[in-house]
Structure 1
Amino acid sequence: MPSMPSQEETPCPGCTGPLKDVVTGTCGHTFSRSRLLPPSQMGAQPSCQVLLCVLCKEKEPTKPLVVPVPLGPLGETCCEEHGEKVYFFCETDAEFLCVACREGPSHRTHAVGVLHGAAQPYRDHLQSQMEARSLEKKQMECTRRREDEKLQELLTHMHGKKQQVDEAFGRLRQELADHQCLLQARLRELERQIRLEGEAYTSRLSEEIAGLGAQVQALGEQLQRPVSALLQGRLSQYETKTFVTPETISPDLVKKIRDLHRKILPLPEMLRTFSENLAHYLDTDSGKQLGVWGPFSPPSTQSKAANRATRHVKCGA
């Protein structure tokens, strides 16, 4: 298997010499740095510049070149032009300089500082930014905790309101069930009284029918007697008493039935109105249009008495 050529053996496509200090342009071509740097910048290491690819002749955009990162501390970086260590930083051109570059004509009149001293403002700026971001982070965390507490309070409040709604409608269902039980008990009592009076009426009417049947039979027998025997009797003895038909239901029971009928008759309309008022009350902003009681009417003395009576009525009675 043939060995791969080393970087020193690979020729530079720009100068046909060996590749040295390789850089790669955004077009994808690789060259030696000496083929791309302008000759006027002595020992400079520009962070970005406009270059011209020697193969495709396309103008490179102003973007950082892909260059190898020097190993070791920044102070050990060597100048490519003079091979000396870099100790200075040109603030005018934003370039790293060695001693020879510092004394050269390109940077002699520029603002130049010691490398580590020049980096201090950047460190201070980064430190201030870090502290500002840390403070902002703490403030945002406090805001998040505060808002989380508010959300939890709202959720707890909503849970309590749900319980209040369940309790209110539970009481309403219980009240309606109690009133229903009361009405059913009164209806069952009226049914019982109707049956009793109906049985009494049927029994009395049956007795009268039986008596009339006996009289009919007796009169029939008299008709079969001979004329002599028939004429011996008096006509008055064959007269019958007028039968008075008894009342099927007593007036008192009729009054009770009518009273309960008047109570039950408006119930569907009352419940429908209550349902509409409740829906309207819940749809309004505060229920002020319906007054203090909302869809409910103020409890009257009669309704309170009915509620007390309801508690003593058993649904199975």
Structure 2
Amino acid sequence: MAAGDLAGSFQEEVTCPVCLDYFTDPVTLECGHNFCLACIRQCWGEPQPHGCCPQCRATAPHRDLRPNRQLGNVVELVKRLRLRLPAGSEPAGLPVCQRHQEALKLFCQEDEAPICVVCDRSREHRHHTVIPVEEAAQDYQERMRSRLERLREQREELRGLNRAWEQESQRLRRQTEVERQLVVSECEGLRQLLDEHERVCLARLGELDTEIERRREENAARLGKETARLSALITELEGKCQQPVLELLQGVRRAVSRGEEVTPLHAAPEFPELEKRLRDF
């Protein structure tokens, strides 16, 4: 196989899917995909126990970034092969229009697709709004960042609401414990006469415990599910923001629309009927 063919066949295998350049300090995730060490750290952003693979979205522990030295050696080999290629034999690095073989420097907002300068002057795009791809990417990135900020705020509000549910349930359970002690104390001197009364009261308090715990678990599950959904959407949009310009613009309107979804927040925890049942003791 000629050196040019060999270098071309290895081009995709030695290119990082995030920066679209040769791998630098390549590492492998548990899912098997490879990235530059700096690129995957930039994608994951703030340190967390786990991150998502930018390609398959599989969860991967931050600590499990295995250096791929064999891939690094292959990268160096391909670089040396490309240096030996004759002038003009290296494949072009920029994406080009399949129809006109011109660089895709413009973005059609109506079609949501990158186009070349020849396409811009064609009848198909004559009355369309066309802007440079860099400007389009910047605009959509700003819009997604705005949506991300609101989504993060909603996530924090949900977490705060969950904490409020936990505190309220603990307060009520402490109150039931106080009531339990009072009931036992009142029945102590009249045990033989009040055994039945004590049993009934303790059973009612047990039912209150069960009801409080049931409500706490229901609300914790619902809030946890909503928080997880927002976290997944935030992760998706954060990954989208880190993609190269052309990949970012693919399906970007749908991604932005999903970011505009508003999650209805639940009211603060209140248990009026449980409060009444406790007061009736």
TM-score range, shorter chain: 0.3 to 0.5
| Larger Cα-atom Rg | 1
TM-score by length of 2: 0.35
The TM-score, its normalising length taken from structure 1, stands at 0.31
Greater relative CO (CA pairs within 8 A, separation 6+): 2
